[in-house]
Amino acid sequence: MAETRFLKPQKHISQKVRRGGPSMEVAILAAVNAADDLIGQYQGWAVDDLEKLWQSFVDTSRTGRADPAKLKELYDMTHEARGQGGSFGFPLISVVGDSLCKYLDGRPRLKARDLDVVRVHIMAMKAIFRQGLKGHQGGLSKELHQLLGAFRAKVTDQEAG
């Protein structure tokens, strides 16, 4: 059995860290200001991202089907919008993005009926952003989640039947 040895560092960590710098209050204020700047920039990013997502959908709609590469692109863009929505104060965009990600996940291709589901979800995200529905919207989040879940289930049931 090997013997356990303890090594004592030559310098304590406190000797390696520089003293001074901003106070805790100043550091927190700087972080809050940086977050506010990012939120302001997000508005521009979101418009661009949702427009790219819409354009990807339009391109896919022209052919009537989405090949695996186009499907992955739609999924990745939706996944990004879902994450950013929640991070930047638009939790309803996250609800809709999550619903669309669940619908797209595992599908090898999109058929015409699937494109209707994608269109409704993207239009919902654009409407939420355009209406400025930031923060918690009471029961709307739950209702939207249930409505989109029922919509996905209905389309999936129609495909199976």
In a domain, 153, yes or no: yes
Please count the residues of the chain: 161
| Interval 44-95: pLDDT, tens | 667 788 889 999 888 888 876 677 888 888 999 999 999 888 877 889 999 9
The reported pTM is: 0.71
Rounded Cα gap, residues 159 and 148, in angstroms: 17
In a domain, 55, yes or no: yes
CATH number of the structural domain spanning residue 68: 1.20.120.160
| pLDDT value for 38 | 63
Rounded Cα gap, residues 154 and 150, in angstroms: 6
In a domain, 68, yes or no: yes
Instruction: Give one DSSP letter per residue of 70-110, joined into a string.
Output: HHHHHHHHHHHHHHHHHHTT-HHHHHHHHHHHHHHTT-S-B
Supply the range of the domain harboring residue 71: 23-160
Instruction: Give one DSSP letter per residue of 14-37, joined into a string.
Output: HHHSPP----HHHHHHHHHHHHHH
Share of the chain above pLDDT 70, in %: 86
